[in-house]
Amino acid sequence: MRKVLIGVGAVLLGLVVAVPAGAQGKGPLKVATDLPAPGFWNGETPDNVDGGFEYDMALEIADRLGYDGIEVSDVSFDALVAGQLSGFDIALSQVTITEERGEVVDFTTPYFASDQGVLVLKGTKVTERNAKKLQWGVQRATTAQFFLKDVLKPKKKVRTYKQTVDLFAALRAKQIDAVLLDTAIVLEQAAASNGKLKVVAQYATGEEYGGILVQDSPLLTDIDAVISALKDEGFLNDLTAEYLGGDPSTVKFIEP
């Protein structure tokens, strides 16, 4: 699908409109996400995003539902999963579906499966024996944070970061020993690091991503139908192959 970027405005932290050729009449689908998110949204701000798994997925949803492309807004992940935001039709931001989050937002049918991957500087060893002794870093309000707190229970206080860009910078600066985050996300970081970072293990958590809608949104049924079709047609598998940095199934599992 050919895509053209037009216009820049200010919704929450910023927006950009992407319009597929031939769309007309319905206005853009308003899509929220937390940037940056390499592999899922390729670009630092809404005005320079030019691809990615969730970006292309959002365009396809908009096209199939008759919208004039998408209007992207950059939002706080913490506020998004807490159900504190409105003014969007759907949020696609690598959000794991949980029962607690489902009390304050509505989730779409799942569109991506992920466990928790361990990202380290090349040469760092992570094993079942030494994992609790490491200095861990994690993005705030993620399921990885709760996994460390409730399951792994490391000896050192886990360092939390509001955005992934700060989390990965702390790892490169050797302020932390290891990052715990969704395996697909850390594989993308490793692939873009010129060999400096490696995903050395993952923990099995059986997590799935879902889109977020405000509670009782009338769009949920239609969006679910499109996402189900995209899965059945192999469209999402094609996006995984195109944008994400490796096959999660090749990463060894370890026990907490």
pLDDT in tens, 162-208: 999 999 999 999 999 999 999 999 999 999 999 999 999 999 999 99
- Whether 253 contacts 201, CB under 8 Å: yes
**CB-based contacts of 12, cutoff 8 Å, min separation 6:** 32, 73, 74, 75, 85, 87
Query: What average pLDDT does the structure give for the chain?
Result: 91
pLDDT at 21: 43
pLDDT above 90 (res 4): no
Q: How many DSSP H helices and E strands does the chain contain? A: 7, 12
pLDDT above 80 (res 18): no
pLDDT above 80 (res 83): yes
How far, in Å, are 90, 158, 160, 219, 240 from residue 102 at the CA level? 14, 26, 23, 16, 26
pLDDT at 23: 42
Distance CA 205, CA 255 (A): 11
pLDDT above 80 (res 3): no
Is the backbone of residue 66 left (phi > 0), alpha (psi -120 to 50) or beta?
left
Is the backbone of residue 195 left (phi > 0), alpha (psi -120 to 50) or beta?
left
Distance CA 120, CA 218 (A): 43
Using CB atoms within 10 Å of the CB of residue 144, give its burial: 0 to 12 exposed, 13 to 18 middle, 19+ buried.
buried
Concatenate the DSSP letters of all residues of 45-88 into one string. Answer: SGGG----HHHHHHHHHHHHTT-SSEEEEE--HHHHHTT---S-
- DSSP type of residue 147: H
Domains (range + CATH), the chain: 3-111+209-245 (3.40.190.10), 114-206 (3.40.190.10)
* Range with the poorest average pLDDT among 8-12, 151-155, 200-204: 8-12
**CB-based contacts of 158, cutoff 8 Å, min separation 6:** 136, 137, 138, 145, 148, 149
Residue labelled with tokens 């050729």? 21
pLDDT at 84: 97
Stretch 234-246: mean pLDDT: 91
Residue labelled with tokens 């079942």? 128
126 or 248: which carries more pLDDT confidence? 126
pLDDT above 80 (res 151): yes
- Whether 246 contacts 187, CB under 8 Å: yes
